[in-house]
DNA sequence: GTTCTTACA
DNA sequence: TGTAAGGA
């Protein structure tokens, strides 16, 4: 499929798809015209990329990981032991972040429980059109 | 009409 | 990131 369909399938902007490719995360075929030709596997790859980026992994790390799970997506290819250590580190970092998020949620829960129905009694100003970031 | 690269602010 | 130029 070409760029337009790939954007539709993944929900990822055209420019970002090119960026992923630039970072070595994607390698779509090229038509004689120079147009990119994406495969179904590429759609899945983008899904993984988004997942890992959200989790805070760098594009360089992801570029190392992707080729190792490209086969069935279930396990690490008989590749690099250095990668295992790296990924265990990432996993640990994610666990720490999860705990921080839990604490944040708990804090908000506490505050919200102590201030019921505030939104019903307080008039918040309408956001200005040019005040959005 | 679609997509390509490059590039500037 | 938004946008534009200039090709294919």
Contacts of A23 (CB under 8 A, 6+ apart): A59, A60, A63
Which nucleotide is nearest, taking the CA of residue A35 and each C1'?
Answer: B3
pLDDT of residue A77: 66
The domain spans of chain A are 1-77, 80-115
pLDDT on residue A120 = 61
CATH class of the region A1-77: mainly alpha
Question: For chain A, what percent of residues have pLDDT higher than 70?
Answer: 79
pLDDT in tens, A80-102: 677 888 899 999 999 999 999 99
Q: How confident is the model at residue A114 (pLDDT cuts 50, 70, 90)?
A: confident
Nucleotide nearest A14, CA–C1', reads B3
When comparing pLDDT for A50 and A132, which is higher?
A50
Q: Tell whether the model's pLDDT for residue A123 goes beyond 80.
A: no
Sign of the Cα pseudo-torsion (A74, A75, A77, A79, in order): positive
Gap from A43 CA to B1 C1', Å = 25
């Amino acid at each position: 499929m070409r760029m337009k369909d790939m954007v539709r399938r993944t929900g990822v902007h055209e420019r970002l798809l090119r960026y992923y490719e630039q970072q070595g995360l994607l390698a779509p075929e090229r038509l004689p015209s120079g147009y990119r030709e994406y495969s179904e596997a590429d759609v899945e790859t983008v899904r993984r990329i988004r997942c890992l980026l959200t989790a805070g992994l760098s594009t360089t790390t992801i570029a190392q990981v992707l080729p190792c799970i490209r086969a069935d997506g279930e396990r690490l290819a008989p590749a690099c032991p250095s990668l295992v250590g790296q990924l265990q580190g990432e996993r640990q970092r994610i666990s720490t972040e999860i705990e921080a998020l839990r604490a944040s949620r708990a804090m908000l829960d506490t505050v919200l429980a102590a201030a019921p129905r505030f939104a019903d009694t307080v008039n918040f100003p309408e956001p200005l059109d040019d005040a959005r970031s």
